[in-house]
Amino acid sequence: METRWLSPTELAAWVRLVAVVELLPGVLDTQLRRDAGLTSFDYYVLAMLSEAPDRTLRMTALAAQTNATLPRLSHVVRRLEERGLVHRFPCPEDRRATNARLTDEGWRTVREAAPGHVANVREHVIDALTPEQLEQLSQIADALLPRLDPTGTMTALYQRYDRASGRPTPSPGRARRRD
């Protein structure tokens, strides 16, 4: 099979996407570490728990929602537990499983960290785009996500806000293609 090399236009777009993917996590981490003593992944874990019923999720569900391996998530949750932000306990419905619950201190921490995090996201991403570009960004993500997440593992996560925004929810297999 012959390699389909990237055209200059494709290469320019690709290099820019890679730069964004590489730089954005550092920008998010820097602000969260400075203001809340959290990494962006710590914040993400706390945020997912804050949105769950009773602020509790099984570790396996939390791993799926954060796209983390169980060993990585266990390590992060252990650190958050040592800080009093999360509490782990056996799942009452299945003693073989473990639940993670956001503590009152964890709830306070995520609430206090949220305004700075949102301001950072606005400054570096949202406010840099026009409304049309923001819609294009959503459409681009809708085209890429089915290829990056073909089993739909994270579909519920990235579509959970579509209804509130008025966006139609695309089905995972119906991304617009431009071949």
The answer to whether residue 73 is domain-embedded is: yes
Same domain (yes/no): 156, 101: no
Q: Mean pLDDT of all residues in the chain?
A: 90
75 and 122 together in one domain: yes
Does residue 17 lie in a domain region?
no
List for the chain the helix, strand, coil content (%; round to 5). 65, 5, 30
Give the pLDDT band (50/70/90) at residue 162.
Answer: confident
Q: State the first-to-last Cα distance of the chain, in angstroms, to the nearest integer.
A: 18
**Element (DSSP H or E) covering residue 26:** helix 8-36
- Same domain membership, residue 110 and residue 58: yes
Residues 146 and 159 in one domain: yes
Same domain (yes/no): 152, 75: no
58 backbone φψ class: left, alpha, beta (φ>0; ψ -120 to 50): beta
Q: 115-146, pLDDT tens digit by residue?
A: 999 999 999 999 999 999 999 999 999 999 99
Contact 31, 117 (CB under 8 A): yes
Q: What is the 3-state secondary structure (H, E, C) of 88-116?
A: EEECCCCCCCEEEEECHHHHHHHHHHHHH
- Same domain (yes/no): 136, 123: no
Q: How many domains does the chain have?
A: 2
> Can you give the residue range of the structural domain that contains 81?
35-128
What is the tens place of the pLDDT at every residue in 63-119?
A: 999 999 999 999 999 999 999 999 999 999 888 899 999 999 999 999 999 999 999
Q: What is the per-residue pLDDT for 51?
A: 93
Residues 66 and 87 in one domain: yes
Answer yes or no: is pLDDT of 178 > 70: no
For residue 59, pLDDT beyond 70: yes
CATH number for the domain spanning 96: value is 1.10.10.10
Residues whose CB falls within 8 Å of the CB of residue 28, separated by 6 or more in sequence, listed in order = 40, 117, 120, 121
The verdict on 39 and 107 lying in the same domain is yes
Nearest to 179 by CA among 139, 129, 143, 131: 143
Reported as a pLDDT band with limits 50, 70 and 90, residue 17 is very high
- Same structural domain for residues 39 and 85? yes
What is the average per-residue pLDDT within 44-62?
96
Same domain assignment for residues 109 and 65:
yes
**More confident position, 23 or 94:** 23
Judge whether 175 lies within some domain.
no
Phi and psi for 171 in degrees, rounded to 5? -80, 145
Q: Where are the beta strands (DSSP E) in the chain?
A: 56-58, 86-90, 98-102
Q: Are residues 65 and 119 in the same domain?
A: yes
Is residue 27 included in any domain, yes or no?
no
The span from the CA of 116 to the CA of 127, in Å, is 15
pLDDT score at 160: 77
pLDDT at res. 154: 79
Would you state the structure tokens that stand for residue 7, as one six-digit string?
Answer: 């055209």
Please determine, for residue 159, whether its predicted confidence score (pLDDT) is greater than 90: no
Tell me the pairing of strands 56-58 and 98-102.
antiparallel
Please check whether residues 43 and 124 belong to one and the same domain. yes
Task: Report pLDDT for 179.
Answer: 33
Q: With respect to residue 24, please indicate whether it lies within any of the assigned structural domains.
A: no
